[in-house]
């Protein structure tokens, strides 16, 4: 910019100086000789002024290019500075974004840890509650079991007492009974009065025998009904061992309700067993089971519907 100013000054000053010099020569120099010298001088000055004008024009053009170059450099520098500023700002924003992301990630991690801790605490509390509930259930079950055992023991004692009382009563009654009455009483004691239809001593030339007619009752399945009848056979046979002096054999019959081929309810013999006195005397009833009856009986029949 300084060179441009100097060039403009020279360009403007040179014509002005030349004009003033010519005016001075014309106005103040009167003698030819002096005019001549001054003319030479004015020519020299004019030439110098022309040279200076050329140089000034050149300087102006060169200064303009230099100014443009400096302006471009300034713009480049400004652009570079702006780029650096932008990069710095972008780097700062990126760093800030990373810091924010890190902070958010840390907060998320802390929140996740808190949630995990809360979940662990909830699971621990749930486990403790479950353990308390389990202990309470075990305690309640133990108490219920203990009560049930006490109840069963009380019932067992009561049943034994009732059995002993019945036995004593039956013994007292039996001491007053003879013959069929005694046998009927013994059978009722075993199977119950509601099952006994008839207990009789039958007289025959071949020998006397005991006739027992019983009601089979009802049961859920054929197997349980057969098992119950066989058990009654053993129980009756056991009490008759000491009473076999009055007869040679025992015929026990169970009757029950069946459905015939036409769908009608009919009464039929459900089962029958015959005990000979000699065979009955050989049996050790403590080691026998209901399933042994068909094998040990002198005679044994079973309704086809129950087989």
Q: Higher-confidence residue: 101 or 51? A: 101
Band the pLDDT of 207: cuts 50, 70, 90: confident
- First vs last C-alpha separation in the chain: 136
pLDDT of residue 176: 42
**pLDDT above 80 (res 22):** no
In 3D space, the residue among 283, 253, 270, 265 whose CA is nearest the CA of residue 191 turns out to be: 253
Q: What single string gives the DSSP state of each residue in 231-242?
A: HHHHHHHHHHGG
**pLDDT above 60 (res 28):** no
CATH match of 178-306 with 3.10.310: yes
| Spatial distance between the Cα atoms of 177 and 185, rounded to a whole number of angstroms | 9
Average confidence (pLDDT) over 83-102:
89
Q: Higher-confidence residue: 166 or 232? A: 232
Burial 137-161 (b: 16+ CB within 10 A, else e): eeeeeeeeeeeeeeeeeeeeeeeee
**pLDDT above 50 (res 105):** yes
**pLDDT above 80 (res 231):** yes
**pLDDT above 80 (res 35):** no
Tens of pLDDT, residues 127-178:
888 898 898 888 888 888 888 888 888 888 988 888 787 776 656 554 544 5
Q: Higher-confidence residue: 190 or 206? A: 190
Q: Higher-confidence residue: 211 or 4? A: 211
pTM of the model: 0.42
Which residue's structure tokens are 């303009």? 64
Ranges 103-112, 236-245, 298-307: which has the least confidence: 236-245
**pLDDT above 60 (res 26):** no
| Spatial distance between the Cα atoms of 214 and 254, rounded to a whole number of angstroms | 5
| Spatial distance between the Cα atoms of 18 and 204, rounded to a whole number of angstroms | 192
**pLDDT above 90 (res 300):** yes
Which residues on neighbouring strands pair with residue 272, listed in sequence order? 253, 301
pLDDT of residue 222: 86
Structure token pair of residue 284: 């050790």
């Amino acid at each position: 910019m300084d060179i441009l100013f100097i060039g403009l000054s020279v360009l403007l000053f040179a014509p002005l100086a030349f004009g003033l010099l010519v005016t001075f020569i014309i106005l103040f120099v009167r003698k030819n000789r002096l005019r001549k010298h001054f003319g030479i001088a004015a020519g020299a000055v004019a030439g110098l002024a022309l040279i200076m004008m050329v140089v000034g024009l050149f300087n102006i053009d060169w200064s303009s290019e230099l100014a443009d170059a400096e302006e471009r450099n300034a713009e480049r520098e400004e652009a570079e500075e702006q780029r650096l500023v932008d990069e710095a700002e972008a780097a700062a924003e990126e760093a800030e974004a990373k810091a924010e992301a890190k902070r958010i990630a840390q907060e998320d991690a802390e929140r996740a840890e808190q949630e995990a801790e809360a979940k662990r605490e909830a699971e621990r509390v749930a486990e403790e509650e479950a353990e308390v509930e389990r202990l309470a259930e075990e305690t309640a079950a133990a108490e219920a079991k203990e009560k049930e055992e006490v109840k069963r023991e009380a019932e067992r004692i009561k049943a034994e007492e009732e059995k002993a009382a019945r036995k004593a009563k039956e013994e007292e009654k039996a001491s007053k009974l003879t013959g069929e009455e005694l046998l009927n009483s013994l059978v009722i004691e075993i199977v119950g009065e509601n099952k006994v239809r008839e207990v009789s001593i039958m007289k025959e030339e071949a020998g006397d025998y005991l006739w027992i007619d019983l009601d089979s009752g009802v049961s859920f399945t054929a197997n349980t009904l057969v098992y119950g009848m066989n058990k009654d056979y053993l129980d009756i046979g056991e009490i008759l061992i000491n009473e076999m002096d009055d007869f040679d054999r025992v015929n026990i019959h169970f009757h029950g309700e069946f459905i015939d081929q036409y769908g009608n309810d009919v009464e039929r013999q459900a089962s029958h067993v015959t005990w000979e006195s000699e065979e009955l005397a050989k049996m050790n009833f403590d080691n026998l089971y209901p399933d042994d009856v068909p094998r040990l009986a002198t005679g044994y029949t079973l309704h086809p519907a129950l087989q």
